[in-house]
Chains A and B, each alone.
Chain A
Amino acid sequence: MKRLGPVHTLTAGAVMALALAALSVATSPAATDTRAQTASAPRSGAASVASTAPETASKTASEGPDPASAPTASTAPEATESAAPTPVRADYAGRVKGNGGLIAVSIREGKAIAYFCDGRVEAWLKGRAENGGVTLTGPHAASVTAVLRGGSALGRLEIGGREWNFTAPTVRRPSGLYRASAVVRGASVKAGWIYLDDGSRVGLTLVDGRPADVPIPPPGGKATVDGQPIVPRSVDEFMGEM
């Protein structure tokens, strides 16, 4: 027994890794992921129309899909809209009506995060996704509530005591939310960026807590802070930090 102890140790480690692998594969969000994406496709076009003309939000379903956003759009069933379950994994991004900012909401396994930014003010929020909606809170009494319907997040943002509505369609990389945390020459750098399918983008880089004049990188590109490249990380990569 004693002689074999070390081998048993290694075996225990291997068994543990295999068990984690089996659980991860069994609970992988990949299967639900594709369903959520195809169901969301027709609305993503409609919703981006809605974001330029807020009044039309309720009747955009009949308008054709935006050619820019989704070639696979028109075949998805409308039936999924009425009884949409909470997606296991989803990424939404869109405009906040009337304040010039963009908002991104992402869901992974019941956990939700959101980022609002207008280039000067930003807010990171976190919360839960359940019952077909998300509820998130952030520092300084910021909050976001939204219902998830037809592949869009329709909701309300409250920040600094004021409220705005937003419509955020599903987005896919390279559109969506990115974040970076780094230390450059001893200064803590934190940044967030949102990219929309129509080319809109917004971001804010804080160096030691203060906004810095850092150009928003192109989607998939790197930002440069004080001569150092900063790699924006996607939701999957930074979700664990939140």
Chain B
Amino acid sequence: MNDTQAMRRVTPAALLTPLAVGALVAVGLGVYGRLHAPAGYAVGVAGFSGALAMKTWLTTGAVVLGLFQAASALVMWGRVKLDVPWIGAAHRWSGRIAFLLTIPVAFHCLYALGIGYDTPRVLVHSLLGCFFYGVFTAKMLALPRRGLPALALPLLGGLAFTALTGLWLTSALWFLTTVGVTL
């Protein structure tokens, strides 16, 4: 493959498929969350006092890794001058782990509870949750593509990070402040 040459030609169309698939994922999750009758119960990660405590801590873990994502991206792209040769690998693996940490959480949300719009917090959380997986899918599919606009990856990554932070604020922070800090 002729990597370096292909990189220089910007073809925004390369983003079309990732964005379309991402949109499908977001809408699909939302539709599933509305149509599926909440089971009130889901298998999750053992070792916590309850499902919400489990979700709170996994999400908190994902957000901490998300902060590292933002920081390591700055280093990777040379915005912060640091000579860390392994930063790329660290960025990829912390991202993978963060994503996998969110899966049991989102699964419980969608399978056991479903999309809700009773209160602004729940509504915002539901919408952000769908958006997060959409934008994350788009970013993952965009990564291997050639000729992306320079802004594409930072924007998709930034949106994913913003959505994740919003998700944490509307769920884990709520749990920690209204229910209490419990493992």
Q: Hey, which bits of chain A sit against chain B, CB under 8 A?
A: 3-7, 9-10, 12-13, 16-17, 20-21, 23-24, 27-30, 108-109, 181-183, 188, 231, 234, 236-237, 239-242
Contact = CB atoms under 8 A, between A and B. Distances in A.
Contact of B178 (A4, A7, A182, A236): A182
A239 B143 contact: no
A6 B140 contact: yes
B33 interface: no
B181 to A, nearest CB: 12
Main secondary structure of the interface of A (DSSP, over half): helix
A24 B42 contact: yes
A22 B115 CA distance: 21
Interface in B131-180: 137, 139-141, 143-144, 175, 177-179
Contacts, number: 85
A20 B144 CA distance: 29
Contacts of B137: 10
B141 A6 contact: yes
Given A3-B144, A6-B144, A13-B99, 16 more contacts: A5-B143, A5-B144, A6-B139, A9-B95, A20-B43, A20-B44, A20-B107, A30-B39, A181-B179, A182-B178, A183-B177, A231-B119, A240-B54, A241-B53, A242-B49, A242-B50
Given A3-B144, A231-B118, A17 B107 contact: yes
A188 B39 CA distance: 29
18 contacts: A9-B95, A9-B96, A12-B96, A13-B99, A13-B100, A20-B107, A21-B107, A21-B111, A23-B43, A24-B43, A30-B39, A108-B41, A109-B41, A182-B178, A188-B177, A236-B41, A237-B113, A241-B175
Contact of A5 (B92, B104, B112): B92
Contacts of A240: 50-55
Nearest to B175: A241
B127 interface: no
Contact of B40 (A181, A236, A242): A236
B70 interface: no
B60 to A, nearest CB: 15
Interface in B24-50: 38-44, 49-50
Nearest to B25: A10
A31 to B, nearest CB: 12
Nearest to A27: B43
Nearest to A228: B119
Contacts of B92: 5
Nearest to A181: B178
Nearest to B41: A29
Nearest to B53: A240
B41 A9 contact: no
Contacts of A10: 137, 140-141
A127 B171 CA distance: 25
Contacts of B44: 20
With most chain A CB atoms within 10 A of its CB, the pick from B50, B92, B143 is B50
B33 to A, nearest CB: 13
Given A7-B140, A20-B107, A12 B179 contact: no
B23 interface: no
Given A20-B44, A181-B178, A181-B179, A13 B119 contact: no
A166 B112 CA distance: 32
Contacts of B96: 9, 12
A242 B180 CA distance: 10
Given A20-B107, A231-B119, A183 B178 contact: yes
Nearest to A231: B118
A241 B50 contact: yes
B14 interface: no
Contacts of B106: 17
